[in-house]
């Protein structure tokens, strides 16, 4: 009988092993890493009976070609694969020897593949996520390559309930991102803030897990002050000297010296993980209370979807 | 002390707008007091020169709760003497490891041996770690050694390289591109994710550089790689 393993026949553009990231190490300069679209990762895991935080394959823009050495249950959640050879957003039983060619992804930037039992990679600093910049975690600290073989854990019993139907809603692509005011929003002044909130920005090709570089109306602070390096929160939107916003992301550095005008709300961080180069994005300001309420609502919706 | 939300799940505590020993003590004191609480609702700490950022779970903790936690932690910190852990970092200041040593010596108008003496005799503190896992922002570089960074960064700076840029000195923990002027290399692995703790430096440590020769460097490097 074949060992439960996945072989990478073609890695696609950037495929890495991720879970929900590693917290608690930022004071040592270690960023959390983890799934760029954690909502999709959690849903994919739940569909195959895994804990939400089990290790998954994260595929970017062009999906991987995978060979499943043994029969197993998988789920694909996120951007659409093409051609649509497998249903997404539901658990699927595949036979030993099945080859899945995900092709170019559409309607989003990333797709997560969960396997019942999870991917078996050693945990480093409490997580299976890949830290690309410092080359550790995940599968030998790097992006997957042709010929890599990843073992799978013991598969979980199948879901005894129907497949939730509203999951696509939870990861629906949105180009309007909700933000709260950042720590330096006041140095920018009212005019710059108005510009920032009313402009449409383009996601440039120079975007990755460290951050999304946007292009559009330059945001210039009302007063130029030297900013002392300080801690950076996930999803901070920093404005470098050229005025082009950068949305900091899962692999971002833990400290920084550029002024931060706004911060993406926690509930919308998974949308950042689905923005592709050449997508447009607009920002909508919300209060801190609204941001926390949105997060709570999202968690309730996720829990309810799986109660069906 | 100012406390403000940086995002819906993060607060920023600011003590000032400059680098000073006083702010260093405030930041370290608060960081240690909060860390000692081991509250599972707190996800991360980002100490910096004159501020401390705290990431938390907003569904299990409110901004008000963090604020009051902060206030009692600051009171406790002010009553607790700051303990410092001294870390000695062996550095080989050979020209092979310090390609910019001569440049720095010329710029400062002193012999290279004097650059080495000044650098290795100074007492440094680790203000915080950031930029890269295990990278310490060190305070205490002698003024005479301040030099601008490279116009064009090197594409590859080997891990362990010791450099100077502006008022700062530090050690590259992993291979990376870099614009600092290099004066030596440590055989120590400054970051090893499989070790506990994973970094040689912790925020708040005191640091001393100890000049070693090439033979010593090779010996230590060998034993580091086998651990």
> How many degrees, rounded to 5, is the angle at CA A302 between CA A299 and CA A308?
140
Angle at A70 between CA A67 and CA A71, to 5 degrees: 105
- Which residues are bridge partners to A124 per DSSP? A127
pLDDT in tens, A8-46: 999 999 999 999 999 999 999 999 999 999 999 999 999
Mean pLDDT value across residues B41-70: 96
Q: For residue A131, list chain B residues with Cβ-Cβ distance below 8 A.
A: 133, 193
**Alpha carbon distances (Å) from B24 to A32, A212, A229, B10, B97:** 25, 32, 13, 21, 31
Size of interface A-B (CB pairs under 8 A): 149
For chain B, what's the residue count? 227
Q: What is the predicted ipTM? A: 0.94
Instruction: Give Cβ neighbours of residue B21 (< 8 Å, ≥ 6 apart).
Output: B125
Q: Mean pLDDT of all residues in chain A?
A: 94
> What is the share, in percent, of chain A residues with pLDDT greater than 70?
98
Q: Supply A33's token pair.
A: 């890493």
Q: With an 8 Å Cβ cutoff, is B203 touching chain A?
A: yes
Distance from the first to the final alpha carbon of chain B: 43
Q: Decide which of A61 and B174 is more confident.
A: A61
A286-303 pLDDT tens trace = 999 999 999 999 999 999
Q: Could you tell me how many helices (H) and strands (E) chain B has, helices first? A: 5, 13
Contact between A109 and A275 (Cβ < 8 Å): yes
- Taking the C-alpha atoms of residue A32 and residue A130, their distance in angstroms, rounded to an integer, is 9
Q: Which residues of B touch A253 (CB under 8 A)?
A: 130-132
Option in A27, A265, A299 nearest B47 (CB): A27
pLDDT confidence of residue B159 = 94
> B167 at the A interface (CB within 8 A)?
no
**Cα–Cα distance, B217 to B220 (Å, whole number):** 5
Q: Which of B58, B52, B63, B117 is nearest to B91 (CA)?
A: B117
Question: A228 exposed, middle or buried (CB, 10 Å; 0-12, 13-18, 19+)?
Answer: middle
Residue linked to tokens 């950068």: A246
Q: Please state, in angstroms and rounded to a whole number, the distance separating the CA atoms of residues A229 and B53.
A: 11
The Cα of A133 is separated from the nearest Cα of chain B by a number of Å equal to 8
Share of chain B above pLDDT 90, in %: 84
pLDDT at A155: 87
State how far the Cα of A163 lies from the Cα of B181, in Å rounded to an integer: 59
Contact A249, A209 (CB under 8 A): yes
What mean pLDDT is predicted for residues A140-167?
89
Residue with tokens 């950022």: B53
Task: Transcribe B54-91 into DSSP letters.
Answer: EEE-TTT--HHHHHHHHHHHHHHHHHSPPP--EEEEEE
The whole-model pTM stands at 0.94
Whether residues B174 and A134 touch (CB distance < 8 A) is answered with yes
- C-alpha to C-alpha distance for B194 and B225, rounded to whole angstroms: 12
- Report DSSP state, residue B29: H
């Amino acid at each position: 009988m074949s060992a439960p393993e996945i072989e990478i026949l073609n890695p696609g553009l950037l495929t890495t092993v991720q879970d929900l990231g590693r917290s608690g190490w930022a004071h040592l300069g270690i960023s959390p890493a983890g799934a760029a679209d954690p909502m999709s990762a959690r849903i994919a895991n739940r569909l195959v009976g895994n804990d939400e935080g089990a290790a998954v394959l994260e595929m970017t823009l062009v999906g991987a070609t995978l060979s499943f050495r043994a029969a197993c249950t998988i789920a694909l959640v996120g951007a659409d694969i093409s051609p649509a050879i497998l249903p997404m957003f539901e658990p699927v039983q595949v036979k030993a020897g099945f080859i899945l060619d995900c092709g170019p992804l559409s309607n989003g930037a990333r797709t997560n593949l969960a396997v019942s039992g999870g991917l078996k990679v050693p945990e480093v600093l409490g997580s299976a996520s890949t830290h690309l910049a410092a080359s550790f975690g995940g599968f030998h600290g790097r992006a997957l390559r042709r010929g890599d073989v990843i073992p799978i854990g013991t598969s979980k019993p199948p879901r005894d309930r129907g497949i939730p139907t509203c999951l696509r809603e939870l990861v629906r692509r949105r180009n309007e991102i909700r933000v709260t005011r950042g720590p330096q929003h006041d140095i920018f002044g009212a005019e710059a803030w108005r510009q920032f909130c009313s402009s449409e920005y383009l996601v440039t090709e120079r975007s990755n897990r460290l951050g999304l570089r946007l292009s559009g109306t330059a945001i210039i602070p009302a007063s130029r002050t030297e900013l002392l390096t300080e801690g950076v929160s996930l999803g901070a939107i920093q404005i470098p000297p050229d005025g082009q916003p950068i949305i900091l992301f899962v692999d971002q550095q833990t400290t920084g010296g550029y002024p931060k005008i706004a911060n993406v709300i926690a509930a919308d961080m998974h949308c950042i993980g689905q923005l592709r180069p050449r997508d447009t994005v607009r920002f909508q300001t919300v209060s801190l209370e609204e941001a926390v309420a949105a997060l709570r609502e999202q968690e309730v919706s996720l829990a309810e979807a799986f109660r069906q | 002390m100012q406390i403000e939300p940086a995002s819906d799940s993060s607060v920023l505590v600011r003590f000032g707008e400059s680098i000073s020993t006083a702010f260093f003590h405030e930041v370290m004191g608060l960081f240690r007091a909060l860390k000692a609480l081991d509250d599972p609702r707190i996800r991360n700490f980002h100490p910096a020169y004159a501020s401390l950022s705290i990431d938390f779970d907003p569904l299990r903790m409110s901004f008000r709760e963090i604020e009051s936690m902060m206030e009692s932690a600051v009171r406790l910190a002010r009553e607790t003497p700051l303990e410092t852990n001294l870390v000695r970092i062996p550095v080989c200041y050979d020209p092979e490891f310090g390609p910019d040593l001569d440049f720095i010596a010329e710029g400062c108008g002193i012999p290279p041996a004097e650059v080495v003496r000044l650098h290795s005799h100074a007492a440094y503190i680790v203000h915080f770690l950031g930029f890269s896992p295990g990278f310490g922002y060190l305070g205490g570089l002698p003024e005479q050694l301040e030099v601008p960074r490279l116009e064009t960064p090197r594409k590859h700076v080997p891990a362990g390289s010791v450099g100077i840029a502006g008022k700062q000195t530090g050690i590259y923990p992993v291979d990376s591109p870099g614009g600092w002027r290099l004066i030596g290399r440590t055989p120590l692995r400054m970051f090893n994710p499989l070790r506990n703790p994973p970094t040689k430096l912790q925020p708040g440590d005191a640091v001393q550089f100890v000049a070693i020769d090439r033979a010593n460097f090779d010996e230590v490097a060998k034993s580091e790689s086998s651990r």
